[in-house]
Amino acid sequence: MNQKDKQTLIDPKDLFFAILKKSGIAILVGIIAAGALFGFVFASNTKDVNILDASTRIDGESDVEYAERVKKINRAGDIVGSIDALNNQLSNLREYASESVLMQINSENEAVTTAQLFVEVNDDSTNGIDKALVSSYSQDLKAGEYLASLAEELGTKQGYLTELISVEYSSSTSAIVGAEGATGSAGTVTITVIGPDTDYTERIMDCILSEVDVAYNTLNESMVPHVISLAGQQSSYKVDSITRDVQFAVANRFEAVQKQIGLYNDSLDEIASELGVGNKDNIYAFFSFEEGNNEKSIIGSALKMAIIGLLAGVFIVLCIVALDYILSKKFSTQSKFYGFFPGINKIGVAKPLSKRSWFARLIDEITGDDNKLSVENNNRLISANVKNLVSGMDKVLFIGTAENSRIKELVKDLNVKADVKESFFVDPSSLESVAEYDGVIIVEQRGYSDCRLIEEEIALIANANTTLLGAIVI
């Protein structure tokens, strides 16, 4: 297995525990960042609120300076109010543009369904009764309760359906005389429905014609006796410049509102600079809260930044830990070492001697870098394993990229008969005598030994035709 292959052997489980082990430091850094940001934002916002409070003077402020500050504050308040109003308009325009059926129609290929209704009024004793009748039909068709259920079926709003429907009336040029000599009038009601396709418009038209029947029963009795009948219905596609103009007008209005908001924001930037306020957002926040609630807004804003600081601090530290684990050529855990060198016999893992929290000790036990044995018993276990491995051998060498003093201390603690030499990369002459030994045990140190040097070390031992008995991780 080459070095490139070894570098891909990252154990996700070991990486997780390596990150988890440093979570305490990450949280501490996050808390420090949160405290720093909270203090900075709180102090900055408190200063800005004092400047924007027109009811009190700032220390050392003259009458002229105070009057000028109040003038700028009032202007800023007016601008904030205008921005709020424009933002509401923008929100409504955005909703209309995305949800209105009219805005989704292709004006170059608009579907149109038209129905002609013939209306005959039997009593012409009241002048203009026919127009009043048609007006009642029109009002019912464009505002009737049936539209609410239809809009729900089509997944839209009633107002968006109403703008697709138009009703027009044209009267006859001559009066109608009945069989008994009574006069009346007649005319045509034209109902037009536009939409994205004819299936859509015809569905609406069917509901409209059904509503005409319902309205007829009411208006025939409550208003004037009359007859209404369907003269014809047709569907087609056309180019509609009116729809196109409406769509362009909405888009232009959207752009104009955005531009105006931008100009107002530029004005707020200027006022913020003139008043010495941190930025326009603080002005906007000041006028967006009810009077007396600015203290809460200051604390709320500072807390928000503190939370961001906490999360950012924790995230950055954990990312650094993860990158260090993945990219570092030094191994921090015995799992990473044996992941890089799976063919090396695992002789033992010395207990960490550094001062650790209970949480770090728990993680070390889970990952195999520690156990519940005492230091003495753990060394006795490693010693017994070494003695079994070297049984019958006359000369055994302990060497490695770990600190030489630590290797000597380990051999002493294990109470085994072996020689200790400096690393090949500290004293190259150590390599000359390797072939004299029956077996070699390498000792590698967590957080200190470089995996690239260990690989070279293993290759050099192999070249000397000396048996590599295994490794001890300290």
In this prediction, residue 16 carries a pLDDT of: 83
Tell me whether residue 99 is in a domain: no
For residues 318 and 397, membership in a common domain is answered with: no
For residues 336 and 468, membership in a common domain is answered with: yes
Please say whether the dihedral angle defined by the alpha carbons of residues 206, 209, 215 and 221, taken in this order, is positive or negative: negative
Tell me whether residue 101 is in a domain: no
For residues 153 and 179, membership in a common domain is answered with: yes
For residues 79 and 159, membership in a common domain is answered with: no
In this prediction, residue 176 carries a pLDDT of: 47
Tell me whether residue 179 is in a domain: yes
For the chain of 474 residues, list the mean pLDDT of each consecutive stretch of 10: 47 80 86 88 76 81 88 90 93 95 96 93 68 84 88 93 90 50 70 96 95 90 88 95 96 96 93 85 74 59 84 90 82 86 92 80 83 90 94 93 94 92 93 93 93 93 93 95
Tell me whether residue 91 is in a domain: no
Tell me, what amino acid is at 343? G
Enclosing domain of residue 148: 106-239
Note whether 423 and 430 are within 8 A (CB). Answer: yes
Residue ending a domain, among 273, 293, 323, is 323
For residues 351 and 455, membership in a common domain is answered with: yes
In this prediction, residue 1 carries a pLDDT of: 41
For residues 135 and 75, membership in a common domain is answered with: no
Tell me whether residue 17 is in a domain: yes
Tell me whether residue 253 is in a domain: no
**DSSP class per residue in 315-378:** HHHHHHHHHHHHH-SB-SSHHHHHHH-TTS-EEEEPPP-S---HHHHHHHHHHTS--SS-HHHH
In this prediction, residue 41 carries a pLDDT of: 77
Which CATH number belongs to the domain containing residue 402 in this structure? 3.40.50
Which CATH number belongs to the domain containing residue 137 in this structure? 3.30.70.1120
For residues 370 and 405, membership in a common domain is answered with: yes
| Residue 412 Cα distances to 86, 439, 472, angstroms | 81, 18, 14
In this prediction, residue 352 carries a pLDDT of: 86
Tell me whether residue 313 is in a domain: yes
| Residue 420 Cα distances to 156, 205, 429, 437, angstroms | 84, 98, 13, 12
- pTM over cut 0.75: no
Residue ending a domain, among 323, 353, 369, is 323
Question: β-strand 467-473 against 419-420: which pairing, if any?
Answer: unpaired
For residues 314 and 345, membership in a common domain is answered with: no
Q: How many domains does the chain have?
A: 3
For residues 48 and 157, membership in a common domain is answered with: no
Residue with tokens 């080459």: 2
For residues 283 and 319, membership in a common domain is answered with: yes
Residue with tokens 């009601």: 189
| Residue 93 Cα distances to 65, 70, 101, angstroms | 42, 35, 13
Residue ending a domain, among 239, 254, 283, is 239
For residues 304 and 194, membership in a common domain is answered with: no
H helices of 390-474, in order, are: 404-414, 451-463
For residues 221 and 125, membership in a common domain is answered with: yes
